[in-house]
Chains A and B, each alone.
Chain A
Amino acid sequence: MENNKFMRFLENFLLPIADKLNNNRYLTSLRDGFMIALPLIIFGSIFVVIANLPFLDKVISAEALTAYQNALGPASAATLSLMGLFVIVGIGYKLTEHYKGEAIYGGVIALASVLIMTPQVLDGVSGVIPTASLGAQGMFLGIFTAFISAELYRFFVKKEWTIKMPPGVPGAVAKSFSALIPVTLTLTIFLIIRILFSYTTFETVQNFIYTVIQGPLTVLGSGLPATIVAVLLIQVFWFFGLHGQIIVNSVFDPIWYTLNEQNLAAFQAGTELPNIITKQFIDSFLVGMGGSGMTLAVIILIFIIGRSRQLKELAKLGTPSGIFNVNEPIIFGLPIILNPLVVIPWLVAPVVVTLTTYFAMATGLVPPPAGIIVPWTTPPILNGFLATGNAWQGGVLQAFNLFVVMLIWWPFLRIMDKKYYENEQVQK
């Protein structure tokens, strides 16, 4: 009884949080902006994998390999390495769409605002835009700029500081004129910001955001404690039947993607990978092994020790989708939600796996994720192999992690199975 009250309290506490986070217009446009960029990011990732196939250097000559990699290079250089650009357009678009404005203008204004504030000199050569500032390094500036520019654009449109065409003028022409003044004013503001920053010690807005916000946040996000907190939050939300990743990722994604891209740059340059915790660390090794909470391990365990018909049926039902990391049948069917019997393995297993994965990578047993974004529906083992830049150790680590999760679940699943089995016997 006491237990139930506490559960209800938590549920009543978590639901509004989920509601607030998911209905916050900035967080939703941030999430949707990343969604827009995702197909492009995955496209680039696929070509990184193809360009770095493990056996190639043994089959063809070094020159041929370089030529092959150079030929494929633009695929990722134009997508993965510039992901900030697409996220910015996506955020500006989605936020303006939320306000029921001309969404495409929201997208391009965000892009132009960021470009206005981007240094256009590299090593003394002018008329160039350093791609680094359009990738992960420019991510945070891009996010803030997209928010602010979309807000300013909406503000000026709402004020009706627009040029209205007389009736009879074609719609497309009227639209571009009505956008003229809001666009001009918005971009002018960002130009002024750029000029003002050039008089400070930071010199560029980029430097300012990087030093004050992005740097400290990514350092925090790359650490073990913040990761464990994030993983636990995901699990707690799911325990109450709420989609944990959708809620938690909207806050953490900018950090995890930034860390990911730093690794990708190092992977392609052939230097040491700077980060262990990245987007793929979370997605491939913790969350995405058979779905949230690594329930593929639970399915396998049911096949090994399950006696009750109910669980065996459930395992069969959950297997096909579980292989591709979709696990709602298990979450709601076992059930995992609000089930006191599974709360311990549900919360403990991901933390233990976070530790095993972290230490396997920190000690060099397994290479850290290479910054390649593997589609989240890629089956485990293959997923870990691809995420680590075609390293077999990545697949082995996933198999090991699945085994660890099974061990942790073993006693609890046995109790559950026994309970179900006895009920079934009584009913017979």
Chain B
Amino acid sequence: MKNILLACSAGMSTSLLVKKMEEVAQSKGIEVNIWAVSQDKAMKEIEKADVLLIGPQMRFLKKKFSSVTEEQGIPLEVIDTLAYGRLDGEAVLNRALELMEN
């Protein structure tokens, strides 16, 4: 089971995306565990994740998170703004899977 963690300010808008990503994963039969948290909880949740994606509006957090993700050896990326705005679950899910493969 792959674990995908999303983070934004309150975990609200990323949770919209989580729902879309889950729908795509289910229809494609991909087994993933996706969840969204607020930025203050993200630090603690990183250890349960295989990849961390952050909302573009919180991209100034990248530096703060990168110290932990590097230590854990997991990829970290800011979600593409277009995909974020369109709540494009498929694009974000594909990108997450891609990041975990490398």
Is B85 an interface residue when CB atoms closer than 8 A count as contact? yes
Q: Is the CB of A329 within 8 A of B85?
A: yes
State the CA gap A18–B56 with chains docked (Å). Answer: 13
State the CA gap A328–B14 with chains docked (Å). Answer: 9
State the CA gap A15–B59 with chains docked (Å). Answer: 9
Q: Number of contact residues on A: which range applies?
A: 20 to 34
Neighbouring A residues of B60 by C-beta, 8 Å: 15, 18-19, 22-23, 242, 247
Is B91 an interface residue when CB atoms closer than 8 A count as contact? no
Can you name the residue of chain B whose Cβ is closest to the Cβ of A35?
Answer: B40
Is A294 an interface residue when CB atoms closer than 8 A count as contact? no
State the CA gap A26–B62 with chains docked (Å). Answer: 19
Contact with A along B67-90 (1 / 0, CB 8 A): 000000000000001101111000
Is A243 an interface residue when CB atoms closer than 8 A count as contact? yes
Q: Is the CB of A19 within 8 A of B63?
A: yes
Neighbouring A residues of B87 by C-beta, 8 Å: 317, 329, 333
Q: Is the CB of B86 within 8 A of A246?
A: no
Is A326 an interface residue when CB atoms closer than 8 A count as contact? yes
Central interface residue in B9, B16, B57, by most chain A CB within 10 Å: B57
Is B61 an interface residue when CB atoms closer than 8 A count as contact? yes
Contact with A along B1-42 (1 / 0, CB 8 A): 000000011001100100000000000000000000001100
State the CA gap A337–B55 with chains docked (Å). Answer: 14
Q: Is the CB of A243 within 8 A of B63?
A: no
From residue B60, how far is it (CB to closest CB) to chain A in Å? Answer: 4
Central interface residue in A19, A242, A328, by most chain B CB within 10 Å: A328
User: Which of B55, B61, B86 contacts A22 (CB under 8 A)?
Assistant: B61
Is A241 an interface residue when CB atoms closer than 8 A count as contact? yes
Q: Is the CB of A326 within 8 A of B63?
A: no
Q: Is the CB of A326 within 8 A of B13?
A: yes
Q: Is the CB of B64 within 8 A of A335?
A: no
Is A251 an interface residue when CB atoms closer than 8 A count as contact? no
From residue A68, how far is it (CB to closest CB) to chain B in Å? Answer: 34
Is A209 an interface residue when CB atoms closer than 8 A count as contact? no
Can you name the residue of chain A whose Cβ is closest to the Cβ of B57?
Answer: A243
Interface of A is mostly: helix
State the CA gap A241–B82 with chains docked (Å). Answer: 11
Q: Is the CB of A317 within 8 A of B13?
A: no
Contact with B along A2-29 (1 / 0, CB 8 A): 0000000000000100110011000000
Is A151 an interface residue when CB atoms closer than 8 A count as contact? no
From residue B54, how far is it (CB to closest CB) to chain A in Å? Answer: 11
User: Which of B57, B61, B64 contacts A328 (CB under 8 A)?
Assistant: B57
Neighbouring A residues of B40 by C-beta, 8 Å: 32, 35
From residue B102, how far is it (CB to closest CB) to chain A in Å? Answer: 26
Q: Is the CB of B16 within 8 A of A329?
A: yes
Q: Is the CB of B58 within 8 A of A246?
A: yes
State the CA gap A18–B64 with chains docked (Å). Answer: 12
Q: Is the CB of A333 within 8 A of B13?
A: no
Q: Is the CB of A22 within 8 A of B85?
A: no
State the CA gap A245–B64 with chains docked (Å). Answer: 19
Can you name the residue of chain B whose Cβ is closest to the Cβ of A28?
Answer: B40
Contact with B along A327-359 (1 / 0, CB 8 A): 111111111010000000000000000000000
User: Which of B8, B55, B86 contacts A333 (CB under 8 A)?
Assistant: B86
Q: Is the CB of A332 within 8 A of B9?
A: no
Q: Is the CB of A332 within 8 A of B61?
A: no
State the CA gap A314–B86 with chains docked (Å). Answer: 7
Q: Is the CB of B86 within 8 A of A241?
A: no
State the CA gap A314–B84 with chains docked (Å). Answer: 12
State the CA gap A377–B57 with chains docked (Å). Answer: 18
Can you name the residue of chain B whose Cβ is closest to the Cβ of A16?
Answer: B60
State the CA gap A108–B16 with chains docked (Å). Answer: 38
Q: Is the CB of B84 within 8 A of A332?
A: yes
With contacts A35-B40, A321-B13, A326-B16 taken as known, whether A333 is within 8 angstroms of B57 at the C-beta atoms is no
Q: Can you show 6 pairs from A to B with CB atoms below 8 A apart?
A: A19-B60, A242-B60, A327-B13, A331-B57, A332-B82, A333-B87
Nearest 10 CB-CB pairs, A to B? A332-B85, A333-B85, A328-B13, A18-B60, A243-B57, A19-B60, A326-B12, A332-B84, A332-B81, A246-B9
Which A residues fall within an 8 A CB radius of B? Answer: 15, 18-19, 22-23, 32, 35, 238, 241-243, 245-247, 314, 317, 321, 326-335, 337, 377
Which B residues fall within an 8 A CB radius of A? Answer: 8-9, 12-13, 16, 39-40, 55-61, 63-64, 81-82, 84-87
